[in-house]
Chains A and B, each alone.
Chain A
Amino acid sequence: MISIKNISKWYGSFQVLAECSTEVAKGEVVVVCGPSGSGKSTLIKCVNALEPFQKGEITVDGIPVGDPKTNLPRLRAKVGMVFQHFELFPHMTVMQNLTLGQVKVLGRSQDEAVHKGTKLLERVGLAAHKDKFPAQLSGGQQQRVAIARALSMDPIAMLFDEPTSALDPEMINEVLDVMVELAKEGMTMMVVTHEMGFARKVARRIIFMDGGRIVEDALKDEFFGTPRSERAQLFLSKILHH
């Protein structure tokens, strides 16, 4: 579904990604973790071309992302993305946030879009808030709306960029629950997160990044059992002890 081959990226002379390669198969949940500044957010943004990269190749559903001939809007519409800071549109109601892409990109009618939006809001437990503005919701609620917004496009895969790291602790679970449910339904997911509980529960593979490199790319049990790199062991010991 998503194939990343030898991706390198520089900001000026500073290399943020070095020869990263991995794959996410259909229906697979892959968690990307690593210390801050390791390039994991940048990598996931490269997947739907929000960040350009200078070397290597990424294909999504067989379509090359870096090819200038690729119709990027059409490709991005197929890949849902959830951001650390939610990035709901603050000047639109919750329902307008959910219908914008459906109407403008997929060409659905307003009625269809509202119908779909209502179903998704029910699913994330926020149907009662459809006419509110994002600022009137809590962080956890906003992130659930953001997930619903991404799902409104019927994506073939979902990218999560640290979806819970801007949330207050008591709100993390309501967001993770939605994501776990999604994973169990067989959604293809690439998730940048430090939530190792989530990783244990639903991930098939864990990718550990450090200094712009993929240091470890292993099945979940292998990773938590015997991570080979010292750096990954250190990282795990730090985040699992609290």
Chain B
Amino acid sequence: MFSGYDFDVIQRSLPYLFRDGMTFTVTLTLIAMSGGIVFGTLLAMMRLSSFRPLSILSGGYVNLMRSVPLLLVIFWFFFLVPYIGAWVIGAKDPIRVGAFWSAAITFTMFEAAYYCEIMRAGIQSISRGQVWSGYALGLNYWQTMGHVVLPQAFRNMVPVLLTQTIILFQDTSLVYVISATDFLGAASKIANRDYRLVEMYTFVALVYFIISYALSQLVRRVQDRIAVVR
């Protein structure tokens, strides 16, 4: 059945696939996750602010990001970031931003909108009494957030945050549109060069499945362990 196929191509290209491709994918995922959670948490705090302009600004940003296709955002940022960067630092020519950093910025900005909604739910899950109790001790807004609300909100939301990260991990494969060599991109190059499309894409699918499945099992374990006991 497999007589016409050459699965040996996988083994030959393993170092390239993982050293170049998977490293790119994982690094991008980790950067976008950390940046996205930090930025998303700030957005969530803005959205819940009683100061209307802040919550409108944040709400507008989140709704915009959530209603545009990711692919479009990747394109947009890839072509725009050099100009925006030049405008920010006052340079005359567009600055050079590699595919990697363009992707990192895009995914951070895009995922922040989703992490924001998760953190917003997390913050709202903390009772008003906890906030009162922080304020009553004399803590200011940032201290109450940092020591009382966010640690609990974050802990309540870890499973959902991780699930979103798994989606992010899969979505990073879209960087192929800006010719970045992520795991899928690397496999695609080999596949086209050696004309081994079926073999390579099957392998890629398998690897994505194994990693995502393992992570989602991890999420279930974590879920049971870290919930705050009250």
- A residues bordering B, Cβ < 8 Å? 45, 48, 50, 72-74, 76-81, 83, 85, 87-91, 100-101, 104-106, 133-135, 149-150, 153
* Contact status A76-B228, CB under 8 Å: no
Q: Which residues 136-155 of B sit at the A interface, judged by CB distance below 8 A? A: 136-140, 143, 147-148, 151-152, 155
Q: Which residues in B have their C-beta under 8 angstroms from that of A134?
A: 230
15 contacts between A and B (CB under 8 A): A48-B136, A72-B135, A73-B138, A73-B139, A76-B135, A76-B138, A80-B136, A89-B130, A89-B134, A91-B155, A100-B137, A100-B139, A105-B137, A105-B139, A135-B229
Q: What interface size band does chain B fall in?
A: 20 to 34
Q: Flag if A135 contacts B136 (CB, 8 Å).
A: no
Closest chain B residue, CB of each to CB of A45: B132
List of A residues within 8 angstroms of B137 by Cβ: 76-77, 100-101, 105, 149-150, 153
| Nearest B residue to A76, CB-CB | B138
A133: B residues at CB distance < 8 A: 229
Who on chain A is nearest to B144 by CB? Answer: A73
Please determine whether A83 and B143 come into contact, CB atoms closer than 8 angstroms.
Answer: no
Contact B135 A50 (CB under 8 A): yes
A76 & B136 in contact (Cβ 8 Å cutoff): yes
Q: Give the interface of B toward A (CB within 8 A).
A: 127, 129-130, 132-140, 143, 147-148, 151-152, 155, 228-230
- How many Å from the CB of B100 to the closest CB on chain A? 37
Contacts of B127 in A (CB 8 A): 85, 87
* Contacts known (A83-B132, A83-B133); A91 close to B152, Cβ less than 8 A: yes
Chain B residues, Cβ within 8 Å of A150: 136-137
Docked pose: A81 CA to B229 CA in angstroms: 24
- Nearest CB to that of A134 among chain B residues? B230
Q: B132, A74: Cβ atoms under 8 Å?
A: no
Name the one of A50, A74, A91 contacting B136, with C-beta atoms under 8 angstroms.
Answer: A50
**A101 and B138 in contact (CB under 8 A), knowing A83-B132, A87-B129?**
yes
A135 and B138 contacting across the interface, CB-CB below 8 Å: no
* Closest chain A CB from B29 CB (angstroms): 28
CB-based nearest B residue for A51? B132
Given A87-B129, A91-B155, A135-B230, A100 contacting B147 (CB threshold 8 A): yes
Minimum distance in angstroms from B143 CB to a CB of chain A:
5
Q: Are B138 and A87 in contact (CB under 8 A)?
A: no
- Contact present for B133 and A104 (CB under 8 Å): no
B111 to chain A, nearest CB (A): 26
Q: Bound complex: CA of A78 vs CA of B151, how far in Å?
A: 26
7 shortest interchain CB distances as A-B pairs: A77-B138, A87-B133, A101-B137, A81-B136, A105-B138, A135-B229, A87-B129
- Known: A83-B129, A83-B132, A104-B143. Is A90-B228 also a contact (CB below 8 A)? yes
Q: Are B138 and A153 in contact (CB under 8 A)?
A: yes
Flag if A90 contacts B229 (CB, 8 Å): yes
User: Are A90 and B152 neighbours in the complex by a CB distance under 8 Å?
Assistant: yes
Least CB distance from B153 to A in Å reads: 10
Query: Which partner residue on chain B sits nearest A80 by CB separation?
Result: B136
Complex interface: chain B residues within 8 A of A48 (CB): 135-136
Tell me whether A50 and B130 are in contact (CB under 8 A). Answer: no
